[in-house]
Amino acid sequence: MFNLAIDSKLCGCDVVAIRVEDVAAGGYTADRATVRQKKTGRPVRFELSEQTRQAVDDYLKATGKRPGEVLFTGRRGPDRHMTTRQYARLVSEWIGSVGLDSRLFGTHSLRRTKATLIYRRTGNLRAVQLLLGHTKIESTVRYLGIEVDDALAIAEQVDV
C-alpha cells in the first residue's frame, strides 16, 4: 500500500478506493494504471515501479484478491474499502517504525513525495501538474511550494 500510494500520487481517499482491476486487470500488476479521482472526477494515469508491481503481486497472491474486489479492505466488511482514517493510522505506524516523527508526515506526504522528486530532478512543472491531476498550473506551484528563487535557479541553468 505504501509503495502504491507513492507511485500513484493519489489522495488518500483515492488510494483506499483502488480496486484490483485498476492495477491488475489481467491477474498481474500492470506497468501503468488509471484511476478516476474522487474530488475532480477526472482520470489520472500513473506508472507502477517494479518494486510496487512486485509488492502488489505478492499481496494479491497472499490475499487471493480478484478483479471486482477492492484492493484494500477495511473492518467494515470484505466488500468495503478501508477508511481514510484506517489508512492514516497505518501510515502513522509506518512513519514511526522507520524512526520519523509521525506528527510531521501523513497520508498526504505520500502523495507529495514522488511529485516533489520529479519536479526537483526535471524542473518540469507541466509534467507534475498532469501527474497530480491538477487543472491549474498555479495549484501545482502552490502545492510544491515553488518560490521565485526556485524558478530563478532553474532559469540560470539554461543558456541561450
pLDDT at res. 151: 65
Residue pair 131/44 in contact (Cβ under 8 Å)? The answer is: yes
> Whole-number mean pLDDT of the chain?
88
pTM of the model: 0.79
- The full set of domain ranges for the chain reads 1-160
Give pLDDT tens digits for 96-152: 999 998 888 888 888 888 888 999 898 888 999 888 888 888 888 888 887 766 666
Compute the chain's Rg from CA coordinates: 17
Query: Higher-confidence residue: 159 or 67?
Result: 67
Query: Higher-confidence residue: 76 or 154?
Result: 76
Distance of CA 3 to the CA centre of its chain: 8
Q: Does domain 1-160 have CATH number 1.20.1250.20?
A: no
